[in-house]
Amino acid sequence: MSEQPTPEDLEAIKLQLGRTPRDVHAIAYRCPCGKPAVVETPPRLSDGTPFPTFYYATCPRLTGAISTLETTGMMAEMEARLGTDPEIAGQYAAAHDDYLAARGALKMDVPEVAGITAGGMPTRVKCLHSLVAHSLAAGSGVNPFGDEALAALPKWWESDSCANESLAEKSK
């Protein structure tokens, strides 16, 4: 369940990203350390820019672990399964619909991103960051590829808080 960001959340996200966050609508998922890890961003930023990525991972430990996973060939394997496994293709299409519905709940008409989600849904697999963020925000069982990638990740939160100032400096 998403929640409104507090000033402390926005400061943590600023440390995580190494910049002021843009248009954080809500905190969609918190790391076990308690800090924001996935935020919801409206489909149109305050400067007018269309922004289809509703779920955005902010935790640098999480995004670093996902980046490492992307180098393993997992995305190509997942995409190959889309063409051969009708069940997984159907589940992935349903994940696309879930993503659109969640973003649509904001009641913002943004024609430039109509029907567009993230991560390649529903026909490609091109960004595990988006798929994992969706799985963390929506919960297990909604995005099959996000769930698979999430299960393959190490426990990124165990070593320190996701908004540690020294961590933010290292990620720049």
Which residues partner with 30 through β-bridges?
36
Confidence of residue 9 (pLDDT cuts 50, 70, 90): very high
Query: What span, in angstroms and rounded, lies between the C-alpha atoms of 56 and 65?
Result: 15
Convert 20-54 to b/e letters by CB count within 10 Å (16 or more is b). ebbebbbbbbbbebebbbbbbbbbbeeeeeebbbb
Whether pLDDT at 27 is above 50: yes
The two tokens of residue 72 are 């393993």
Host H or E run for residue 126: none
> What is the model's pTM?
0.91
What is the edge-to-edge ordering of all strands in the sheet holding 36-40?
A: 26-30, 36-40, 55-57
Whether pLDDT at 171 is above 50: no
Whether pLDDT at 166 is above 50: no
Phi, psi (rounded to 5 degrees) for 3: -140, 155
Residue scoring higher pLDDT (161 or 75): 75
Strands (E), 34-92: 36-40, 55-57
pLDDT tens-place string over residues 65-106: 999 999 999 999 999 999 999 999 999 999 999 999 999 999
Confidence of residue 25 (pLDDT cuts 50, 70, 90): very high
Whether pLDDT at 160 is above 70: no
Confidence of residue 165 (pLDDT cuts 50, 70, 90): low
Whether pLDDT at 168 is above 50: no
